[in-house]
Copies of this chain bind each other. A is one copy, B any other.
Amino acid sequence: MRYDAEVNRARIIAVARHALAQDPNLTLKPIAELAGVGPGTVYRHFPSREHLLLTLYTGEVEALLDTASLLVRHEPREALRRWLEQLAAHGRTGSAASQAVRAALQSHGPHSARVRGALDELLAACRKAEQLRTDVTSGEVLVLMSYVWNTCGEPVGDRVLNIVMDGLCRDPRL
């Protein structure tokens, strides 16, 4: 890659991170202007707003992959609940990072597959401990969690998560 392009890309990323922290819904045009480049330059480096967000907030998506540390510290059911709470906490913020996580999960790409894999580990652990209904998949759990992207109220979110957890664990034996 040419040197000037490298510089521009780095500048766009730095400026975007700073600007999006203040206004999560800022569009690419103003970001380009703040970075001192034309809109086409941003578009070349990042084909869409979603690509830029995923580049900026890879770490937040990666954090969802670490199920191992949850499983060593908690029993399976509690580990699952804490993972889902982590997801809900993201949704509540409405931040650009939250938008990135949402995009990663819903766009059926490699990110989504990896997160589903992580959740599968949690579900498998719960199933092994007989703390989970037997007929549920990670994809269905993520669909069920869609609500976290819409609403913000924390008390409501907690109560809804209780319902989700009870639905997931529903089983004659439990």
A interface vs B, CB < 8 Å?
106, 133, 135-136, 139-140, 143-147, 149-151, 156, 159-160, 163-168, 170
Q: Complex Cα distance A135/B144, Å?
A: 20
B136 and A146 contacting across the interface, CB-CB below 8 Å: no
For A159, the chain B residues whose CB sits under 8 A away are 135-136, 140
Residue of chain B at shortest CB distance from A139 = B156
For A146, the chain B residues whose CB sits under 8 A away are 146-147, 149-151
Residue of chain B at shortest CB distance from A135 = B159
In the assembled complex, how far is the CB of residue A90 from the closest CB belonging to chain B, in whole angstroms?
Answer: 15
Q: List 20 A-B contacts (CB under 8 A).
A: A106-B150, A136-B163, A140-B156, A140-B159, A143-B147, A143-B151, A143-B160, A144-B147, A144-B160, A144-B164, A145-B147, A146-B146, A146-B147, A146-B150, A146-B151, A163-B170, A165-B167, A166-B167, A167-B167, A167-B168
5 smallest beta-carbon distances between A and B, as pairs: A167-B167, A166-B170, A146-B147, A163-B167, A166-B167
